């Protein structure tokens, strides 16, 4: 019973760190992409909206179920056995940050697609808050 809260805590911590990183990268990318258009806050907000929907699409592709005949292939088995040293580059870098480096169990980490969905919702939330709270682009 003491193992369950730790598992959920690590999953939440992993998702939180990944979401914060993707959100900050998305905001930075939106600012950079808005520079040719004058770097107005309205353009940044629009790029955040577009990037969020692109991330939702990419997360959907990552979470799309594989066909049954590919399940037994060596390629799929190799993909399932990836550990954090050979995972995506961003995930490897985030795993070296202090909160995540204290928890070595990769079996309790959420799939990348799920974390991207969460991050894309946060990007949509930032875009929404820029419009409604800050009054940008109204």
Token reading at 3: 């193992």
Query: pLDDT tens-digit profile of 45-98?
Result: 989 999 999 999 998 988 888 776 655 555 544 444 444 444 567 777 777 667
Axis-axis angle for helices 112-132, 41-63 (nearest 10): 160
Q: How many helices and strands in the chain, by DSSP H and E? A: 7, 0
Measured over the CA atoms of residue 56, residue 58, residue 62 and residue 68, the dihedral's sign is positive
How confident is the model at residue 82, as a pLDDT? Answer: 45
Buried b (16+ CB within 10 A) or exposed e, 72-96: eeeeeeeeeeeebeeeeeebeebbe
pLDDT of 120 reads 93
Helices 3-34 and 41-63 cross at an angle (nearest 10°) of 130
What's the helix, strand, coil split of the chain in %, to 5? Answer: 75, 0, 25
pLDDT given for residue 89 in this prediction: 74
């Amino acid at each position: 019973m003491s193992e369950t809260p730790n598992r959920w805590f690590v999953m939440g911590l992993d998702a939180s760190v990944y979401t914060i990183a993707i959100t900050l990268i998305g905001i930075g990318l939106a600012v950079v992409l808005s520079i040719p258009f004058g770097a107005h806050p309205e353009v940044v907000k629009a790029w955040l909206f577009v990037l969020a929907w692109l991330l939702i699409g990419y997360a959907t592709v990552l979470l799309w179920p594989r066909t049954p005949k590919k399940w037994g292939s060596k390629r799929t088995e190799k993909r399932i056995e990836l550990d954090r040293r050979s995972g995506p580059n961003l995930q490897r870098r985030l795993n070296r940050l202090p909160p995540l480096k204290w928890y070595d169990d990769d079996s309790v980490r959420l799939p990348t697609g799920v974390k991207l969905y969460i991050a894309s919702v946060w990007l949509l939330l930032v875009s929404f808050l820029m419009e409604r709270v800050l009054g940008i682009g109204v």
